[in-house]
Chains A and B, each alone.
Chain A
Amino acid sequence: MELVRDLFFDYTLRTVALGAGCLGAVSGTLGTFAVLRRQSLLGDAISHAALPGIVLAFLITGSKDTLVLVLGAAVAGWIGTLLVLSVTRATRIPEDSALGIVLSVFFGFGLVLLTYTQTLPTAAQAGLDRFLFGQAATLLMRDVVVIAGLGAIAVLVVALFWKEFKLLAFDREFGASIGFPMRRVEVLLTTVLVVAIVVGLQTVGVVLMAAMVVAPAAAARQWTDALGSMVVLSAGFGALAGVSGAVISASAQNVPTGPTIVLAATVFVLASMAFAPRRGLVWEAVRRRRNRRVIRADAVLEDLYELAGQHRGVAHGHAIAVLETMAGGRRDVRRSLAKLQVRGLAVAQEDGTWSITPAGLEAAERRGRIGADS
């Protein structure tokens, strides 16, 4: 409760929550397209490739201003991405290998630069290492303005080029056949993805930022079958994960923000995988159980039909024990009988035995015929 109150009245916490919420919404929006295009790894490569850009931007300008560092990150991330795209296109190296190479080479270079920077006297309090795992507590209102501004541009581009991005994600060659230069559309979408990723680096860190691209979108996919609502849901999940993770980490000592936010996003993914209607595992289990019950009830009806045939009479009752034996000793014969009674296919006699009704006979015969035909 106190945390919620602080969210509104504590300036630092409000700043942090605002920044993290914005970055979550932006990465959720762009993540939708990355996930649908099966390019989750690209997000990972971009965020790792951004690290040397951040350090170089500091080394060249000597400034720790967020906008400068974010621009450095964007340039490096963008170069890394274009490298992946052109290596894949021009050589026989498959895309996943190209991603892996760019990711590790850029990240390794970034770490070397980072280590070197920390030996410089001027960089004692540079605190660039916060870009590794993220630190929301250091967010200032200025940073939030940068995140919100760049994020708004990214979301605006998605809104403007909505149908072009949809074409790219669904049927690229058809898009090319009707005259859209799909390579340029792809570069545009990727550029916006780079923007969405680099605005989150200070808060979430380069190591885990990819999770903010993938997790909200993966969770959103479970709930909807329309691209529009998937983007909105994904942005919402991302924002919620950002706010909750950042607030938890900012209010505790020495908890890095990146992992906390990612854990929050993971909760959304797990909950969605479990409970989403139709695609969710729980829903699936319930449906399977229901199907099994129907099948079992049908099997009991068949057994009753067979017994009626042996005893030359519908009204003759049969003990549950007999039916249980016929069902291979299953214990839920009673439940199946109750179901059949509701459907008017079987009826309980006064002595507790069961028999098939004329309607049940008909149903069993119809089923038998269909079974024989097929």
Chain B
Amino acid sequence: MSVRASERTRAPRVVEDEVKQTAAIEVNDLTVAYRDAPVLWDLDLTVPSGVLMAIVGPNGAGKTTLIKAILGLVPRAAGEVRVYGGPYSEQRNLVAYVPQRGSVDWDFPTSVLDVVMMGRYGTLGWLRRAGQRERDAAMAALAKVDMVDLASRQISQLSGGQQQRVFLARALVQDARIYVMDEPFQGVDAKTERAIVTVLQSLREAGSTVVAVHHALQTVPEYFDWVALLNVRLIASGPVAEVFTDENIRRTYGVPVPRANGTAAGDMA
């Protein structure tokens, strides 16, 4: 088995100066295919360190596949992904992943605290058990998403928004530099939405980088400062003010998209 505790704790921490120069994530010529059909085609993407980047695009554009390819969860047909200059497998201690809430069975017999502590399993490595230190870290992360009083709650008794905050806390407990999130705002209540926005802002203040798949186009300029428009190919990426234009959105979704009235753009594509 390749990962031992000693190796994981020795994994490279990036020096602060280096972080500023190197891109957080660098994707070159990435192509991913399921069966024969390409899901991502010849994609180049740079995520500068310290930005909050939204990944937007219609259904089937490959948004989830892109972040899974960054995390090494789907095989690449071609291309490479570098995280602070190195391959993901060597830099994974710098990255925390918030999967889609619907990707797990919430009837699993476990508690909120227990799920959040899973975020420490990577640094614990094989065989070692979670103890008081992990418990304290998990409680601190739960405090950041306003869930302390639900720590011992069975996870099947959570609302959708609370589930999302549990996943967010599990990522925060990893104490990473890059947070990769798959639809963190999908179907959450107003309180959760505010909690996530607060967390995003404090992450930015701490110099962390966030890459999030996002559906609601109208909130992109409010919540994020960088954006990547994706539809199998990368249409455009850069600061929201520069690239989040009607023209680029039209090229991404193929049809004019009303941005103000809250219509989900993906439904129209």
Contacts and interface: CB of A to CB of B under 8 A. Distances in A.
A84 to B, nearest CB: 20
Interface residues of B, number: 36
Contacts of A167: 118, 121
B127 A161 contact: yes
A36 interface: yes
B121 A163 contact: yes
B2 interface: yes
Q: Which of B119, B121, B127 has the most CB of A within 10 A?
A: B121
Given A162-B129, A226-B110, A226-B111, A177 B3 contact: no
A226 B8 CA distance: 29
Contacts of A221: 109
A184 B1 CA distance: 8
A170 interface: yes
Given A179-B8, A179-B122, A225 B104 contact: no
B122 A178 contact: yes
B105 interface: yes
A369 B99 CA distance: 43
Nearest to A160: B127
A178 B2 contact: no
B72 interface: yes
A224 B109 CA distance: 7
A164 interface: yes
Contacts of B8: 179
A62 interface: no
Contacts of B103: 171, 173
Instruction: Tell me if A's interface is mostly helix, strand, loop or mixed.
Output: helix
A180 B121 contact: yes
A170 B104 contact: yes
Contacts of A184: 1
B212 to A, nearest CB: 15
Interface string B95-108: 10101000111001
Nearest to A231: B109
A227 interface: yes
A178 B174 contact: yes
Given A166-B110, A170-B110, A171-B104, A177 B129 contact: no
Contacts of A224: 109
Nearest to B174: A178
Contacts of A164: 121, 126
A238 B92 CA distance: 41
Given A163-B121, A227-B110, A177 B71 contact: yes
Interface in A219-251: 221, 224-227, 230
A178 B95 CA distance: 8
Contacts of A171: 99, 103-104, 118
A176 interface: yes
Nearest to A32: B109
A199 to B, nearest CB: 25
B109 A226 contact: yes
B111 A181 contact: no
Interface of A: 36, 92, 160-164, 166-167, 169-171, 173-181, 184, 221, 224-227, 230
5 contacts: A161-B126, A163-B124, A173-B68, A225-B156, A230-B109
